Structure 1
């Protein structure tokens, strides 16, 4: 049985029992994976699924490969073909499904044939916080506030600096291979790779009550020509990439919470998952409302921690919620018909 099929069956078993529905208004259920389950460390930083179906989980003390049953750990050692640091800062896969690993001491390409790692020389002793691949399988890296393009074929790289002197803090690549960059001043820029120029979009020119904030995350919509732009100490804005217009979601006002945004995920065309330092927020686009998901010590299937460090949706639409101190949570796309409510003996 290959890993994809095996993982799907594990997903079904986790979801229990025999009848499932998509539940819109019931409690979200999570399966926890922590040190006692084989995870190398509970401080989880990143998650991705490779071309073979394995789930890779990065922590502050080791890299983990999960096959649906158990974990295999990868750590720094004296071997030149191992990782250079146990602190995993980012994970991504190229167009072939091969795993690449960002660490506090550089970037590494994983070789599944002999389970070794190739170090990318120009990243030595550099903290790799964000990197992605375009449709031509070129590697783009956010490094020291600059954007770097790396050609894997000839091992050449080129650095693009911010024309206004600001640090780049986040970027994304859309399906049309457009590169959008966010900076520390709060501006979003469309990068022209041929002309090496940028077109800047000010997402505060209609929001007089807000001051520009550092952009923490840019997430491209898979259903429309929109970008979700998350500001570190502010809120989420939606930029229409065709018209240049933007919309404030005002999630802090709706939820009546003040929080630090760490990550954002578009679950589907109508639902955003937002990871914060105060729990998981679920925002519904049609109703413009927000639900806060928090840990519940009386419920073993609730969220394991309140500080959400990363979010990832796998190919079976399962969602992995990484926490800073409490391991990783898995939410199945299948919601049980009978939902367990803590303290209610009539529910199973």
Structure 2
């Protein structure tokens, strides 16, 4: 160790009373090493209507809309307002689970439910209009089982259904158009369960299906091109149960599957790079069930899996994984991640299965938080009474009853010194 250089350190009184907070060190959000993230968590105890979060979206006025298993929530930054079904109000929303949220070109909120069809929120009247399931081809949707809703660059609304294929509403013509699998037509949709929809270059749509792999759809020709898993071909899609498709700002297509991991497609060769969970690789994908993918305002790619949140490291082509820690109140609220959303401020909203919402705000995450953690290298105790800066690399930490901890800033490692009671 270098020659000791002593400095007077101001002790902050609140450190004695904040039992969970041990040490704060200024940190830049860099992927040279795994960043330490602090999340703000919300649950039914804070006003959410349900802890199972299916989708999250922000409107033009800044309100955050949250789709849950029981009702729709609007969050103004302070409180949650829940919209639920009412038998006494024909303009209320359905009592079915809410699966999808999307804004149309007029900033009207479209809500997709599992069993109740599609609703459109009337902002002026603060109520809902249901899109009726119609018998005629151009009127209404053909299924009330909704997986996804997506607005394309031309303002058309695309709806993925759970068995009746792909629906499209053209606001200019005020008509619905329908696309289904035809076993006698190789250029038709590969499967009628359309789980996820996104748009790539030149207005081409990409669809994830449950059992039919990935579909490329050209609306101009109304032709579908299929990308399927091929046994023995390491560059094919890893699996045909595609839960999520996502185009990032670099025009790369990501495809998350159920049980077969994550895929990244080369747009020139249409070959896939596969990422799968490896229990022996600490930098691998956290789980092979991929529910959601999003890109933050800083360009970083986040992946929600059935066991944790993964941050893609562009340089090393691997992942940093974040999981719920029962000893850390600022960790993720739960591990099954069902929805992700990056809002206008750059905050990452994480929707979980039955554990509510976790929010990571990069602008507020200017500190690294260290807590006493069971069976892990950490500070000796959460009650910190003093700091002494020994040199540029080492900080000595005094605790209330558990001795001294020497913290190596570079390696993020604690060494503990306690009174030896032996004579």
TM-score (structure 1 length as normaliser): 0.86
Matched residue, 1:22:
29
Structure-to-structure mapping, 1:134-173, within 5 angstroms: 134-145=152-163, 146-164=165-183, 166-167=191-192, 168-173=194-199
After TM superposition, list the pairs within 5 Å mapping 1:267-346 onto structure 2: 267=296, 271-343=300-372, 344=379, 345=382, 346=384
1 CA distance for matches of 2:290 and 2:343?
Answer: 22
The corresponding residue for 2:118 is 107
Corresponding residue for 2:108?
A: 98
Q: CA deviation at 1:109?
A: 0.8
Q: Distance in 2 between matches of 1:125 and 1:236?
A: 29
**Contact persistence 2:305–2:336 (CA under 8 A):** yes
Structure 2 residues without counterparts, runs of 5 or longer:
1-23, 134-140, 184-189, 373-378, 388-396, 398-423
Q: Is the 8 A contact 2:198 2:207 kept in 1?
A: yes
Change (3 A) 1:203 1:330: same
Q: Which runs of 5 or more residues in structure 1 are unaligned?
A: 1-16
Structure 1 residue corresponding to 2:42, chosen from 29, 33, 44:
33
Work out whether 1:220 is the aligned partner of 2:238.
Answer: no
1:82 pairs with one of 77, 92, 97:
92
Residue 278 of structure 1 deviates from its aligned partner by: 1.1
Question: For residues 269 and 163 of structure 1, what CA distance do their matches in structure 2 show?
Answer: 42
Deviations 1:162-214 (A, max 9, x none): 34553333221236421112233453222121221122334647318986331
Deviates more, 1:335-344 or 1:201-210: 201-210
Please give the alpha-carbon distance, in whole angstroms, between the structure 2 residues aligned to 1:208 and 1:174: 20
Aligned to 1:340, the other structure's residue is in SS state strand
Aligned to 1:13: none
Residues 125 and 195 of structure 1: CA distance in aligned 2, closer, same or farther (over 3 Å): closer
Flag the 1:118–1:56 CA change in 2: closer, same or farther, 3 A: same
Change (3 A) 1:262 1:252: farther
Kept in 1, the 8 Å contact 2:119–2:131? The answer is yes
Describe the shift of the 1:268–1:315 C-alpha distance in structure 2 as closer, same or farther (beyond 3 A): closer
Q: 2:257–2:288: 8 Å Cα contact kept in structure 1?
A: no
Deviations 1:312-346 (A, max 9, x none): 11111111000111111111022533322122444
**Alignment CA distance shift 1:92-1:249 (3 Å):** same
CA 1:231–1:252: 2 relative to 1, 3 Å: farther
Within 2, Cα distance between the matches of 1:54 and 1:124? 31
User: For 1:85-144, what per-residue CA distance to the aligned partner results, in whole angstroms no more than 9, with x for missing partners?
Assistant: 252111111233321111120111111111011111124871211011112211110113
Q: How many residues align?
A: 331
Matching residue of 2:220: 194
Q: Give the Cα–Cα distance (whole angstroms) in 2 for the partners of residues 152 and 57 of structure 1.
A: 25
> Residues 20 and 203 from structure 1, CA distance in 2 versus in 1: closer, same or farther, beyond 3 angstroms?
same
d(CA) in 2 for partners of 1:124, 1:169? 16
- Change in CA separation of 1:321 and 1:197 when aligned onto 2, cut-off 3 Å: same
Give the drift of 1:243.
Answer: 3.5
Aligned with 2:233 (options 173, 190, 206): 206
TM-score (norm 2): 0.71
CA distance in 2: counterparts of 1:112 and 1:211, whole angstroms? 42
Distance 1:335 1:269, change over 3 A: closer
Q: Secondary structure at the match of 2:54?
A: strand
